[in-house]
Amino acid sequence: MLLTVTPRRTEKAFGLSQSNTYVFDVPVGVNKQEIVQAIESQYGVSIKSITTLVQNGKAIRFSRGKNRYPGTTTRKNSKKAYVVLAEGSTLDIFDAPVAEEETK
């Protein structure tokens, strides 16, 4: 099964990356073993531990007419994986390319 995991690029994820913990968005239907295999094959790092959580989708309201038939539904659930890498392994997700200064 081809599984692609994408890193989350948020301030909280950046703060966690300083302590060698990285946050990834993963499909809801996969388990921890599949996530570990996908990250190790995609990024070539070794993993110490992994924690997953499912965020329930928010309830939203929508209109099915003027004022008569209000409706409610929920957004899709999402799953996150907090991955702690083994000692000596790092990912360069948040490394910004250094801009070269032009001299006149």
Mean pLDDT per block of 10 residues along the chain (104 residues) reads 86 92 95 94 93 94 75 92 92 73 71
Alpha-carbon dihedral 6, 19, 88, 2, rounded to 10 degrees: -20
Domain residue ranges in the chain: 6-85
**From start to end of 1-104, where are the E strands?**
6-7, 21-26, 47-55, 59-63, 70-74, 78-85
Q: Which residue is associated with the tokens 């032009």?
A: 102
Tens-digit pLDDT profile for residues 32-56? 999 999 999 999 999 999 999 999 9
**Domain 6-85 - what CATH class?**
alpha beta
Q: How many CA atoms lie within 13 A of 39 on its CB side?
A: 29
Predicted TM-score of the model (pTM): 0.80
Give the DSSP letter of residue 28. T
